[in-house]
Amino acid sequence: MALLTIATIGGENKTVSTEAEITALLATYGIDYERWNPAHQVADDAPPEEILRAYAREIDELKQRGGYVTADVIDVDPNTTGLEAMLAKFSREHWHDEDEVRFIIAGHGLFHIHTAAGPVLAIEVEAGDLIRVPRGTLHWFNLCADRRIRTIRLFQDTSGWSPHYTDSRVDERFLPVCFSLSHLAQQRSTTS
């Protein structure tokens, strides 16, 4: 389950960890969060088409709810060709002309949301987390230390989204560090 940290630049930090608290708090900022059971067994090396077929019912439900017209799968691991260039596109503060919808199937990631009210929300996501960041929301994304994420992405335009960078450099003030118990346990098991 997601772990949510609320931080202000030079200010106070707070962590929220129950599903109900996370869902309620994110809703106050217009961000939708749901916890789904990734119930479809797909192999770690399954091609995107197989993943999309396995999750077709859930994808169709999301398309109807949000007016999304297409979906794809992004699958990133430490051996992904061009990983650093790909991550550089996501790790700077930006916004999009359409919603950013992600259902995490495997791995971990960290969304930072820079709210209009000032605080920055750090939302660590993992398998089973569904998040919708509304169009126009300032945010950036980092991978956790395992540098692994597989996610279904939904789009309202068949061409996908383009980032509009703010060049504020606020993202440079936050470390991309993941602290959820499941992530820390996984890190310990891979280093033992």
- Give the per-residue pLDDT at 25: 87
CA atoms within 13 A on the CB side of 122: 23
Amino acid at 173: R
- Give the per-residue pLDDT at 9: 47
Closest CA to 68 of 161, 134, 156: 156
113-152 pLDDT per residue, tens: 999 887 888 899 998 899 999 999 999 999 998 899 999 9
The whole-chain average pLDDT of the chain stands at: 86
Q: How far apart are CA 43 and CA 114, in angstroms?
A: 35
Residue 5 has pLDDT above 80, yes or no: no
Q: How far apart are CA 104 and CA 48, in angstroms?
A: 13
pTM of the predicted model as reported, rounded to 2 decimal places? 0.85
151-186 pLDDT per residue, tens: 999 999 877 678 999 999 999 998 888 875 444 444
Domains, the chain: 3-191 (2.60.120.10)
Q: In angstroms, what CA-CA distances link 64 with 8, 38, 60, 155? A: 36, 20, 6, 12
Residue 188 has pLDDT above 80, yes or no: no
Residue 87 has pLDDT above 80, yes or no: yes
SS3 at position 54: helix
Q: How far apart are CA 26 and CA 22, in angstroms?
A: 6
